Amino acid sequence: MTRREGVSNDHSLMPLMRYTMKAVALAASAAFACITSMPNRATAASVVSAPYGATQQGQAVVQYTLSNARGVTMSCITYGGIVTRLDVPDRRGRRADIVLGFGSLSDYEKHNGKIHFGGLIGRYANRIADGRFELDGRSYKLPVNEPPNTLHGGPRGFDEKVWTVVRTFQGAQGAGVQLRYVSPDGENGFPGTLSVDVTYTLTDDNEVRIDYRAKTDKPTVVNLTNHSYFNLAGEGSGSVEAQLIMIAGSTYTPIRPDSIPTGEIVSVENTPLDLRALTPIGARLRSSHPQMRYAHGYDHNWKLNKNGPRNGEPSFAARAYDPSSGRVLDVYTTQPGLQFYTGNGLDGSVVGMSGAAYRQTDGFALEAEHFPDSPNRPTFPSTELKPGDEYHEVTVWKIGVR
């Protein structure tokens, strides 16, 4: 059994209110117990590719499936860099896909511009107020796709582009695929030709490591993330309200009614956003607190405490736990913030991989990223990228069971 540094030993000391005693006991033991390794199912890490159809414009799309020696597989497609599946055993060894998604490329093309299942988000993840920002004394106007604001880079963002595969690899470091997209100068109003490389690596330690790298030929702003929706009980299994969440953030950036940050960084104390101990996702979801009403649930950015390593390696950001299956997801990142989202826009109008109609709380997203609207907020961590510099951020999903 192993434990990653960055998780303190007292995260579950606070009692979990409004929850069954059995779940409380399971949550407490999960927080204190080491996460067990999954049994070996394969002989070595591997990468397999297969056609995934063609876009409406006729561009061929390929799916890459990464497998490790412990029975975990992850699939992604070159359209949007979308993670289409993440198959993980539960405590009894039964495998299930723990990310929401569609069964066809046409569904991703039809719906993902609003839902963003599993996609690589850019140029700017999250929101930019009024679709405007200034950089080096020049004003830039972006297309608005969540009036009055620009969300996730605007219409036809990075998760709706066909990425190029630079390489695949398999060996002692795991199995992986490196994707590239070159965003031309002025695309969706952003300055500079931006070359982006994202590498997915699945290791035999049951980690999905996502490396984001970018370079530009003009000063620009960059904020990249992955927008997977998780359901640790399995895709199509229903609400995640009984699953537990913990976020390593003592402060957050409160929002206005249009979901743009006010510019403040305030304590989570005595708010529904205090998730410093494992807490059922549904426990405070229907709170009348203004922040919960503005977002119709959780859709907020936490400033991460960054208590872990400070040598450029990812530090602990969040833990999610499903008492029913025993699956645990730990998130580590180099990013300064984490957006926790409870799928508030899912209204039953789209049907997922298993044939179930997706509704609010059928999945949750943990988007490691810089803060929303940072280009307009000088007090927030900078998202500026200049020629000659390299943007490099890392996020790790650590998968386990107990």
Q: Would you list which residues are annotated within the binding site for beta-D-galactose? A: 126-127, 227-229, 299
E strand or H helix at 292, and its extent?
helix 290-295
Reference 208, options 70, 308, 343; nearest CA is 70
Radius of gyration of the chain (CA): 20
Structure tokens at 272: 């529904």
Residues in contact with 187: Cβ distance below 8 Å, sequence separation at least 6, in sequence order: 123
DSSP 24-78: HHHHHHHHHSPBBPPPP-SSS-EEEEEEEEE-TT--EEEEEEEE-TTS-EEEEES
Q: Which of 11, 116, 152, 227 is catalytic?
A: 227
**Between the CA atoms of 19, 24, 28 and 29, what dihedral angle is there, to the nearest 10 degrees?**
-140
In Å, how far are 136, 282, 294, 338 from 304, measured between CA atoms? 28, 22, 22, 7
- What count of residues does the chain have? 402
Q: Which of 160, 367, 369, 393 is catalytic?
A: 367
SS (H, E, C) 198-267: EEEEECCCCEEEEEEEEEECCCEECECEECCEECCCCCCCCCCCCCEEEECCCEEECECCCCCECCCCEE
**Amino acid, res. 86:** L
* Residue ranges of the binding site: 126-127, 227-229, 299
Question: How far is the C-alpha of 341 from the C-alpha of 338, rounded, in Å?
Answer: 10
Structure tokens at 10: 């007292």
Structure tokens at 388: 């000659």
Catalytic site includes residue 367: yes
Structure tokens at 186: 């002025």
The count of other CB atoms within 10 Å of the CB of residue 390 is: 9
Reported for 136-139, long-range contacts at CB under 8 A and 24+ positions apart, including other chains, are 136/219, 138/191
Structure tokens at 93: 């060894």
The count of other CB atoms within 10 Å of the CB of residue 356 is: 15
Catalytic site includes residue 227: yes
- Please answer whether residues 26 and 327 qualify as being in contact, where contact means their C-beta atoms are separated by less than 8 angstroms: no
Residues with catalytic function: 227, 367
